[in-house]
Structure 1
């Protein structure tokens, strides 16, 4: 069992009694968990109690009726077996060791789909295997399209478990006809009724690809132990769900564009733990809808704990955004390790996407990253949002103006980075109320702040090539007990 409280006590002891003799770098190096102590290799059998400064929740393993139906390799009626067991009141459908090839699978209430070790469930590659279309949310916009390889809508008490493997669609029409030519808000008109937003390959030349696992409107969702590979889109995406546990997954989507690992979409009471992620995009991301469609739905992602996860490769170790129209709040991330992601902790919004986040805390994080360690990116790229990607382009506050505030980061170890802290807010909605406490950071640049106020950095040490603060439109910056050391030039 992880002794989180013990880690906190050790860090507090160092703070109270050891600061004069033990450098912060050494305190954090000794106290924080390392890469070989987190991730799927260290998944305990039971869920340990969840501690969060924002909410109270108890996550318990689901139970199912004793009925069990075992599917053997070569059999092709997985969905029929699920439907029959659900009609009988529920139970467990077991995939025995071997290879299975399937179209979309839909979970039903009180069903556990269990893949034993050695079971490989591969999904077909043609659009026909994912029709008819189903209600889904793609990049924060509601529509009808292919949905997910493993899908559920309105189900209660469902699980996907075991030590088997899920493999996404290979070469075929699913990938060949995926919409890639524009951003989704330019394709799906927010004024069009959702029922008329149908993308089945006939209404348009393109479709929106299936995620690998994406329950929507579900309660009591448990996903555990599996390996996921070759996703056509995001891997695991609970949307409009409540009471969700995702634990012990091994996700590999390196080289896959938009191959996010775990995306929490407008869901409540969520625990993510002991996952190992190597992804083609963000490893773990929290989202809440996009643009006017996200405002219409207006459902936040809230009451979320992420702990003991290993982000080994990806664009971001942990990301909030960029689709946050319904707001992200009350998120607690602790005791995670990032070992080579492009960015460590990243907050991103866009002027046309709305929302933002508040009441977010990170503690006990170790990282080695390629670019920025702690990054706020509220402008985006011209490729996606045109002139609005420039802070010099004047935009008045409106319904889609995003905001981030009330964010705390404590006990953060940055072994390598380009920028330790880099903030790009927006002039009409500056980043507010961020506290950095006990951060040790090594990098090329210490601190860049644009459009921010009430930023506090305390009890921290930075060793950088450039220790000067680069700031534009900043007020209320406080640096207390901050040690800045310039690297020696060779």
Structure 2
């Protein structure tokens, strides 16, 4: 008896030591809000280290030629997009260089970037974009919410260009909410009613003629471009998503500040079917998701079939937002090889989110997250694969269906070294019955949340070396299989976990070397 008591005491001591060590190590390596974001951006770009093959991205280099627009010539123009565009075109034709916008408040329409040109905004320069449809015509090739067509494009647009940049400490300001563009918007939930999927994208024209609908323009939207740099600028009052590179290769976005709080669909950054992307030292406060990776939507996304891959996000700060880092819900071309590290979500709703829908296709795989600190209003880690009936009708239900080419997957997800200071729930999984979330590995976590976890339709979870504290002791699992909880301390008011396990497919759910403590 004495020997047993000593053994238990030794085990308790070692476990307590492990928990203390875990807290000390995680605190030591996981950044705080004052260590990340645009205010902390260094001048140099540090080497990129990722758990997959990733090139070392460098800023594009521009010829030593500068064309500075004068305040006098800008004041003569009703919209400064005319002299700015002339300067960009001239600089590109002569081989490239930098076009400088001086300090001042300038009203503008669409600006189109050209190869080998850096559009630089001096500190104090403000570009205020028009809300009139005619200031963004003729229509250009674009992709909106994962669907191709011909419409307004972006406030700052480029197509098929190489070595382009938007830099400086200036501000980009969108139009007022009662503008004509917003009144003629194709609503996000109405896409399938408007899009003629049987026509080529070049014949899907949405120009607003006779008050017909338009695709909302993004704020900054390069498409089919290579070697893109967006650095230092601030964006506010967008009408739609803010920074949206599409079909681009070698993109760097750093030191950017976005404020779209209160704007529906006001995503901060949406990486659409791009590869080799570095996103670092940005500060985002948004009306929708913050940092988002997408790859096309449904029929059109599968037709294009271009993935988003080789994407690194580091040293970013998310404040107000629906999601800190989100994959999806447009997933048709696949999202793969994403590495997010050393980020902070402060006051965000959901922390790490994986979204898709039954008719979206594709999915995500080889996704890595580490050294992330969260102070949240909602869930820390959320797999939302079914969506709501508002957008997909009966397809949002848990009734199993036959798999087809539109059935998405999420698999091979790795999350470690996480501190959740506050959240409503640690883990929520709403998988698809015929395509459950698979192969998820979560380790080295310290979490304090209102609820522990709710898991529906998951095959393969390892949660280890974690301390989970909650005033609710319920662990709800429906049709979960191959779930392994190892070396996890659960701290609840009862000193136990109340396991609710349901569903004919639930099996192989193990708790190994776990501790159950009374919440202090």
* TM-score (normalizing by structure 1): 0.94
Whether the 8 Å contact between 2:491 and 2:519 is mirrored in structure 1 is no
The residue aligned with 1:153 is 159
Which one is further off, 254-263 or 199-208? 199-208
Which one is further off, 142-151 or 69-78? 69-78
Cα deviation for residue 65 of structure 1 reads 1.1
Cα deviation for residue 79 of structure 1 reads 0.6
1:70 to 68, 71, 74: 68
Cα deviation for residue 26 of structure 1 reads 4.2
Cα deviation for residue 84 of structure 1 reads 1.0
Cα deviation for residue 180 of structure 1 reads 2.0
| Local SS of the residue matching 2:390 | helix
| Local SS of the residue matching 1:120 | strand
Question: Is 1:276 paired with 2:283?
Answer: yes
The residue aligned with 1:8 is none
Q: What CA distance in whole angstroms lies between the structure 2 residues aligned with 1:341 and 1:181?
A: 23
Question: Is 1:462 paired with 2:468?
Answer: yes
1:40 to 28, 32, 38: 38
Cα deviation for residue 167 of structure 1 reads 0.8
Whether the 8 Å contact between 1:461 and 1:484 is mirrored in structure 2 is yes
The residue aligned with 2:455 is 449
Cα deviation for residue 438 of structure 1 reads 0.6
| Unmatched 5+ stretches in structure 1 | 1-15
The residue aligned with 1:414 is 420
Which one is further off, 301-310 or 202-211? 202-211
Aligned length: 474
| Local SS of the residue matching 1:199 | coil
Cα deviation for residue 61 of structure 1 reads 1.9
2:446 to 424, 428, 440: 440
The residue aligned with 2:6 is none
Question: Is 1:348 paired with 2:367?
Answer: no
Query: How big is each residue's C-alpha offset from its partner over 1:162-221, in whole Å with a ceiling of 9 and x where there is no partner?
Result: 000111122421122112273323321322221211000127721111110000000000
The residue aligned with 2:389 is 382
Whether the 8 Å contact between 1:72 and 1:97 is mirrored in structure 2 is no
Q: What CA distance in whole angstroms lies between the structure 2 residues aligned with 1:27 and 1:91?
A: 47
- Larger Rg computed on CA atoms: 2
Whether the 8 Å contact between 1:133 and 1:147 is mirrored in structure 2 is yes
Question: Do the aligned partners of residues 154 and 258 (structure 1) sit closer, same or farther apart at CA in structure 2, a change above 3 Å counting?
Answer: same
Q: How does 1:313-352 map to 2 (within 5 A)?
A: 313-352=320-359
The residue aligned with 1:300 is 307
Whether the 8 Å contact between 2:184 and 2:211 is mirrored in structure 1 is no
Q: What CA distance in whole angstroms lies between the structure 2 residues aligned with 1:20 and 1:248?
A: 37
Query: How big is each residue's C-alpha offset from its partner over 1:235-270, in whole Å with a ceiling of 9 and x where there is no partner?
Result: 000000000000000000000010000110000000
Cα deviation for residue 154 of structure 1 reads 0.1
Cα deviation for residue 31 of structure 1 reads 2.9
Whether the 8 Å contact between 1:305 and 1:331 is mirrored in structure 2 is yes
Cα deviation for residue 277 of structure 1 reads 0.3
Q: What CA distance in whole angstroms lies between the structure 2 residues aligned with 1:289 and 1:359?
A: 18
Whether the 8 Å contact between 1:289 and 1:326 is mirrored in structure 2 is yes
Whether the 8 Å contact between 1:72 and 1:98 is mirrored in structure 2 is no
Cα deviation for residue 103 of structure 1 reads 0.6
Q: How does 1:145-224 map to 2 (within 5 A)?
A: 145-170=151-176, 171-180=178-187, 182-202=189-209, 205-224=212-231
Question: Is 1:132 paired with 2:138?
Answer: yes
* TM-score (normalizing by structure 2): 0.89
Cα deviation for residue 86 of structure 1 reads 1.0
2:483 to 472, 477, 484: 477
Q: What CA distance in whole angstroms lies between the structure 2 residues aligned with 1:426 and 1:182?
A: 21
Q: What CA distance in whole angstroms lies between the structure 2 residues aligned with 1:366 and 1:137?
A: 33
Query: How big is each residue's C-alpha offset from its partner over 1:265-292, in whole Å with a ceiling of 9 and x where there is no partner?
Result: 0000000000000000001000000001
Whether the 8 Å contact between 2:255 and 2:280 is mirrored in structure 1 is yes
Query: How big is each residue's C-alpha offset from its partner over 1:419-443, in whole Å with a ceiling of 9 and x where there is no partner?
Result: 1000000101011000001111111
Query: How big is each residue's C-alpha offset from its partner over 1:339-397, in whole Å with a ceiling of 9 and x where there is no partner?
Result: 011100000001111111000000000001101110000011110000111113x4210
